Amino acid sequence: MEVNQETIGHLAKLSNFALSKEQSLALEGDLRSIIGYISQLDELDTDGIEPTYQVFEMENIWRPDEIRPQEADREQLLALTREVRDYQIKVPKVL
Amino acid sequence: MTKYIPTIGIECHVQLCTKTKLFSEVDNDARGKEPNSCVSPVDYGLPGMLPRLNQEAIPFAIRAGLALNSQINLESRFDRKHYYYPDLPKGYQITQLFHPIIGEGYVELPDGTKVRVEHAHLEEDAGKSTHESAYSLIDLNRAGTPLIEIVSMPDIHSAAHARDYTKELWRVMTYAGVTFGDLYNGNMRFDVNISIAPEGSSELGTKTEIKNLNSFRSVERVVEYEIKRQTKLLEKGETVIQETRGWNDATGETTGQRSKEGAADYRYMPEPDIPPLRLSADDVEQARQNLPKMPMWYRQQFAEILPTDLIEVLLDYPQLMRKLAELEDSSAIKKVANLFSSVLLAEENTSLLNDELPSKTQLLDLVAMNTKNELSSTGTKEVFLKFFDPEMHYKDTHTIAKELGVVQENDLGALEAIVDAVLAKPETQQAQADYKAGQEKVLGFLVGQVMKESKGKANPSSVQEILRKKLQ
């Protein structure tokens, strides 16, 4: 996989990051070496092998359908956001 | 001129009516509740929070799958779909991309057309955004509500079938009891994919996707509009762009929103927080036994008894269909179905639909009294309405009819006595003479006198019969 400034720009856009030129260049180098390292795995033949979903071999982990009091209430949770209006989270216009 | 054939696939999101959300232990029914009042740290995606799967969502999903005539996949897994949008604070949605719980199935439309279901999967809903002119507001009450997303095959080729498919899906899901099915509150939402191609072409055209429709009518209008828009483009020699378009119900138009992200842009990965599901054949069998009767069953059941259009109207109300099926007797079903449609579905009475329906015995007694002419059709409706009166609903049919004073007197002996009394009255002598002299019309006057004497309880046709005999 080729890593260039275009790749970094695309990933930054998907992740909603505003990157400076220096950051973008530094990330290009870092990402290229990470991808290069991981690419060693391409030597292996993985055809027909199920991806590893998890390593604990657990299944059917669930909880009963019962409402429980929460450790944090509405006010505490809203307090974590930058701006609130009428108990709603105010964000920059998205549409 | 080239004829274009539309090809339509529909994705439908169904909110499940479990008590709690899919991965957090807070109230899932936020109807009428304050914004951000049904939320937990898990819904906020706070660091270190571990989502835990709601056990009840599994039988709900299996039931939904069976209602879609689908194969249930005994092994299924969850995946992360990443995108940054403020209505989804943790930056990804937990969904099932690679191993969904519901496999291939189909939905049969009222006209017998089958629309195949490609698969359906469990996922969490995002929060609700309200867009103001300068900012957007986010309510996370809906974030984490369990959804079943039903993905159809591109088997639909007209606006009418698109509408019929969404309506039938709504019916099937409400009959299965997996959702409140409240479209106004967004319990079911539809994304429509549509392309057109010249007739006979082996390749499909470029498709557009119109997201977040919440009524059957808007699905139909969107398809009509897009067929026209795309046809115009192609006829002008232009091309259709693959994009997501928004629907404006007020203007009746779609407008371009954004070019669609490729699947790779969502950077799907196996969800490490939720271990896979492994169901047993027994789990599926149990759900099958708990699955209520589906709309198609009622159509077949009543096909010989009720007109098709009446069946289709009543099918919108599962409780009415179930009550009719309880009655078993076909003439009773016919009479009660007519009462349902003429009384309950009348504009002024629709609030009664939220009340408990009359019992089988009450209804069968009502039908019997009507058949025996003990109740006129007006009297029958009056008694029927009283079944919904909080003061009356627990009483039996005969008691209610008596209290209302609408029981018709059919006892010939008693009726004869009343007729005799009327005929003995001086004020009826002239009429009697006129009738005997050949004036048929005065019979009406005499019937009226008898009705008055009986305080309206006499059955007019019996009265007429007795009068004719006596005045021969």
Helix (H, G, I), strand (E, B) or coil at B193: strand
Q: How many other CB atoms are there within 10 angstroms of residue B167's CB atom?
A: 21
* Contacting residues for B441 by C-beta, under 8 A, at least 6 apart: none
The predicted model gives B213-218 an average pLDDT of 96
Q: Which chain A residues touch B268 with a CB distance below 8 Å? A: none
* A54 vs A49: CA distance, rounded Å: 14
Say which of B58, B267, B270 has its CB closest to residue A53: B270
pLDDT value of position B442:
87
pLDDT digits (tens, 9 = 90+) for B288-319: 999 999 999 999 999 999 999 999 999 999 99
pLDDT value of position B49:
92
pLDDT value of position B258:
65
Q: Assess if residue A95 is contained within a domain.
A: no
Say which of A54, A60, A80 has its CB closest to residue B278: A60
Domain of A36, CATH number, reads 1.10.20
pLDDT over 80 at B262, yes or no: no
CATH number of the domain located at residue range(s) B412-470 in this protein? 1.10.10.410
pLDDT over 70 at B52, yes or no: yes
- The verdict on a CB contact (< 8 Å) between A87 and B18 is no
Is A18 part of the contact surface with chain B (CB cutoff 8 Å)? no
* Contacting residues for B361 by C-beta, under 8 A, at least 6 apart: B396, B397
pTM over 0.95: no
Q: Assess if residue A81 is contained within a domain.
A: no
Question: Which regions of B85-201 does DSSP assign to beta strands (E)?
Answer: 92-95, 105-108, 114-124, 128-131, 135-139, 146-152, 188-198
The predicted model gives B273-294 an average pLDDT of 95
Determine the residue among A17, A57, A67, A80 to mutate to test chain B binding: the one whose Cβ has the most chain B Cβ atoms within 10 Å: A67
Q: How many angstroms away from the CA of B99 is the closest CA of chain A? A: 11
Evaluate whether B296 touches B109 at the Cβ level (below 8 Å).
Answer: no
Evaluate whether B211 touches B244 at the Cβ level (below 8 Å).
Answer: yes
Structure token digits, residue A41: 């795995």
Q: Assess if residue A18 is contained within a domain.
A: yes
Helix (H, G, I), strand (E, B) or coil at B209: strand
* B45 vs B51: CA distance, rounded Å: 9
Q: Which of B102, B224, B235 is nearest to B163 (CA)?
A: B224
pLDDT digits (tens, 9 = 90+) for B442-461: 888 988 888 888 887 788 88
Q: In which element (H, E) is residue B278 found? A: strand B277-278
pLDDT digits (tens, 9 = 90+) for B373-399: 889 888 999 999 999 998 888 999 999
* B56 vs B111: CA distance, rounded Å: 34
Q: Which chain B residues touch A91 with a CB distance below 8 Å? A: 86, 135-138
Residue at token pair 């007429």: B464
pLDDT over 80 at B104, yes or no: yes
Alpha carbons within 13 angstroms on the beta-carbon side of residue B40 total: 22
pLDDT over 60 at B210, yes or no: yes
Evaluate whether B102 touches B65 at the Cβ level (below 8 Å).
Answer: yes
The predicted model gives B400-423 an average pLDDT of 83
Pairing of strands B53-54, A62-63: parallel
B220 CB burial (10 A radius; 0-12, 13-18, 19+): buried
- The verdict on a CB contact (< 8 Å) between B136 and A72 is no
B13 CB burial (10 A radius; 0-12, 13-18, 19+): buried
Q: How many angstroms away from the CA of A69 is the closest CA of chain B? A: 8
Residue at token pair 């549509």: B194
pLDDT value of position B263:
61
The count of domains in chain A is 1
pLDDT over 80 at B326, yes or no: yes
Q: Which chain B residues touch A80 with a CB distance below 8 Å? A: 44, 46
pLDDT value of position B162:
98
Residue B24: DSSP 8-state: S
Alpha carbons within 13 angstroms on the beta-carbon side of residue B382 total: 16
pLDDT value of position B261:
57
Say which of B41, B265, B270 has its CB closest to residue A71: B41
The predicted model gives B320-326 an average pLDDT of 97
Evaluate whether B59 touches B287 at the Cβ level (below 8 Å).
Answer: yes
pLDDT over 70 at A33, yes or no: yes
Evaluate whether B23 touches B54 at the Cβ level (below 8 Å).
Answer: yes
Evaluate whether A91 touches B86 at the Cβ level (below 8 Å).
Answer: yes
Domain assignments of chain B as residue spans, ordered by start? 4-282, 293-404, 412-470
The predicted model gives B18-33 an average pLDDT of 95
Complex confidence, ipTM:
0.86
pLDDT over 80 at A52, yes or no: no
Residue type, B103: G
Evaluate whether B173 touches B318 at the Cβ level (below 8 Å).
Answer: no
* B218 vs B222: CA distance, rounded Å: 6
Which residues, in sequence order, are bridge partners of residue B409?
A: B458
Q: Which of B176, B187, B178, B165 is nearest to B67 (CA)?
A: B176
Structure token digits, residue B395: 């009483």
The model's confidence at residue B465, banded by pLDDT at 50, 70 and 90, is: confident
pLDDT digits (tens, 9 = 90+) for B185-198: 999 999 999 999 99
Q: Assess if residue A23 is contained within a domain.
A: yes
Say which of B53, B84, B132 has its CB closest to residue A15: B84
Evaluate whether B356 touches B390 at the Cβ level (below 8 Å).
Answer: no
pLDDT value of position B412:
72
Evaluate whether B6 touches B192 at the Cβ level (below 8 Å).
Answer: no
Evaluate whether B246 touches B257 at the Cβ level (below 8 Å).
Answer: yes
Mean pLDDT in chain B?
A: 92
* A27 vs A6: CA distance, rounded Å: 12
* B157 vs B163: CA distance, rounded Å: 11
Length of chain B: 472
Residue at token pair 């390292």: A37
Evaluate whether B14 touches B147 at the Cβ level (below 8 Å).
Answer: yes
> Among residues of chain B, what percentage have pLDDT more than 90?
71
Is B80 part of the contact surface with chain A (CB cutoff 8 Å)? no
Q: In which element (H, E) is residue B339 found? A: helix B330-339
pLDDT over 70 at B219, yes or no: yes
Residue B453: DSSP 8-state: H
Q: Assess if residue A50 is contained within a domain.
A: no
Residue at token pair 């699905």: B219
* B91 vs B194: CA distance, rounded Å: 29
Alpha-carbon separation of residue B402 from B88, B383, B409, B416, B449 (angstroms): 61, 10, 11, 21, 22
Is B138 part of the contact surface with chain A (CB cutoff 8 Å)? yes
* Three-state helix/strand/coil letters over B405-417: CCCCECCHHHHHH
* B207 vs B213: CA distance, rounded Å: 17
Evaluate whether B65 touches B105 at the Cβ level (below 8 Å).
Answer: yes
Domain of residue A2 covers: 1-42
Q: How many other CB atoms are there within 10 angstroms of residue B206's CB atom?
A: 15
Q: For residue B277, is it left (φ>0), alpha (ψ between -120 and 50) or beta? A: beta
Evaluate whether B46 touches B140 at the Cβ level (below 8 Å).
Answer: no
Q: Which chain B residues touch A6 with a CB distance below 8 Å? A: none
- The verdict on a CB contact (< 8 Å) between A70 and B40 is yes
